[in-house]
Chain A
Amino acid sequence: MIGRVLLGAAVLFLLAFLLTPTSFAWLFQPFTRNNAPAIYTQTPLWSLTLSHLALVGMAVVASTVIALVLAVLVTRPAGREFLPLARTVTAVGQTFPPVAVLALAVPIMGFGAGPTLVALFLYGLLPVFENALAGLTGQPPQVAEAARGMGLTPRQRLTQVDLPLALPVILGGMRLTAVISLGTATIGSTVAAKTLGEVIIAGLLSSNTAFVLQGGMVVGIIAVLLHEGFQTLERMAAARTGLNR
């Protein structure tokens, strides 16, 4: 109950701050020096937030689709031998620093949202892939036996039994990917992607702690909200299957 009230308060605060950032100037004034502006106004914060979210959304959808396809393929009898390869690819995607991806991608793709999208996509593959793998392989053996015994074809077993039962775990993977991407996307502004990182970088360049704080705060609050939203979805999906998390 208290959690819900806090979340509601966070949503209201975030909306109020994004729509009328200047009315919160008093809050950030203490963090400025030499009469520097307390609120970033070069680009409207709501516009940066929307493009930040759009970038993260696209990256999460892309990672999820590719990771799911990979996980389904390597759990089929014909694809089983590719499991170690797929694991390696997604693990490398996770360990390769996003900054390095940006540096490598800019010469090819130019400045803007493209390189950031690639970096986030690679970074987000692993959680969805590993969770989907766990969800698809960790089902009660009797259920799989019954599904075969009833005469479901392999495709029907995948779409009607395996994937619906794995849904809560897959959503868990998407939650991790979304939260990680949300934070990581800020570095996209070093290569001119429109993200909330722009505010943070402006703060760093001008030694204005207030800018850094407000950029970080908006990202942080959205991360918490995303996390809670996904967890609610996971709980609903898990309750529907009757499987305890």
Chain B
Amino acid sequence: MLKTYKKEHGKTIIQYLVVDFNGQILESDDVLFSNVKAQNITDINPFFETLIPLLETDHEDYFFNCIHLNLNNKSITADITLKTFNKEKYPLLTITDLSSHYKHYQTTAQVRNESVINSQILELKNSYLREKEEFKNTFIANFSHELRDPITGIITFSDILTNTPLNDEQQNYLQILKSSSNFLKKMIDDILDISKIEVGKLKLVLKPFNIRELLNDINANYSIRAKEKGLEYVSTIDEKIPTQIGGDAIRLRQVLTNLLDNAIKFTEKGSINFNVSLNQIRAQKASIHFEVIDTGMGIAPENIDSIFKNFTQINNPLSFKGSGLGLAIVKYLVELTHSKISVETELGKGSTFSTNINFRLEPESKQKAKPLKKTITKPIKQDKKYNILLVEDSEITQLSVLKILARKGQFFLDIVSDASEVIPRIENSEFDLVLMDIKLKDQWGDEIAKKIRQLPEREHKRVPIIALTAKIFSADLKKYKKAGINDVVKKPFDEITLINTINKYLK
């Protein structure tokens, strides 16, 4: 019965062929394709041309899997074997039709390959976008950096002009000039911060600091600014807040001042409330709640998400000055502390921005909190003259430093623009301090500092070197320290900052 069933229902998928040593077909069972006797196998399909040189080999088995053949206008996918014997017996060809099996395999391979190709293309697109973004950020960083020398010039000479005889009208013009240059400086700082954040170069620098001093200083500044705009300024600082904490004081100040700037900018009448309270102290960490409440114009619910995006100003941008980066920077910085910024707002009634930030607890200092004042702190010997070497290729900065130091009447200034002249000048003179630009035309200032430190004379190893630069990423600061640079003055700088830093190192 089985024999009958096989005959009636069995599928035959194998064809046997006997060929001579030239590929001429001698016998065929015609299962898959018929009427092939007396033909040469190379006429059936070009695949078989490969077999001709193998036909005369002695007792070999050759396997060819998954070969697509067109036989008698019918396409099949087959496994083919060639079995050779000795010269007395002709070779045997076996063709097994596995079309349905390979069809399934084809579907699986199609899905797999398409998915791999798509993920490779996606990765490529992402890397292209990343490169583009990095290029943009580097461009912005370099461009902003180049703006710093002229701004230093404007700020310095505005300061110098303040101390010259001016009539009332000129004083007014000077105030406008000063506030415009400070505004420009703030914008450049914001743009630089955003570009640093976007390339992941902005890192928090955690150090112990006195938070009460910081908050007092902020209150002192913003109570005046609010008053100037006719707004009430109310600040409540929780007494339970520890005085000494560990965190990034500069970035905390930036977050709080950006929020307060924003509140004052968008509030025309009413008040600004600045509240700071202690949430809890746990595991050597203090969680502090910061809150800025204004009675300004508020934000429509559909705009809340976009206020934290770069370059966004919800209201008519022509009515409000600014880069639109302030809140974006706040969001990034708060997130760097693993926290979140939240906003509650009602259109026409005002907004409340708040965040909880964790700080490390530090041993309490006995010192009482005092408001910080930017004054020249350390006096230097009034009767002594100091020799300062300025290494700087920007004429504006040269002139700015020259004017600042000349006004003090205690400094002789020697200026070098060309990096190659620095070492001979130092070897042939005695300087009390070196002011070093970092980005010179033909060499990096930190490289020159290294060479100074390698000079044989002991005094050269000790001469204080202060960098003047806008490149102050944490990696840069480490590099300067390693090169023997004692301190850094960030460009653009003002008179007080420069003189204070110089005085720190003069005996």
A associates with B: no
- Measured CB to CB, the residues of A under 8 A from B are none
- Measured CB to CB, the residues of B under 8 A from A are none
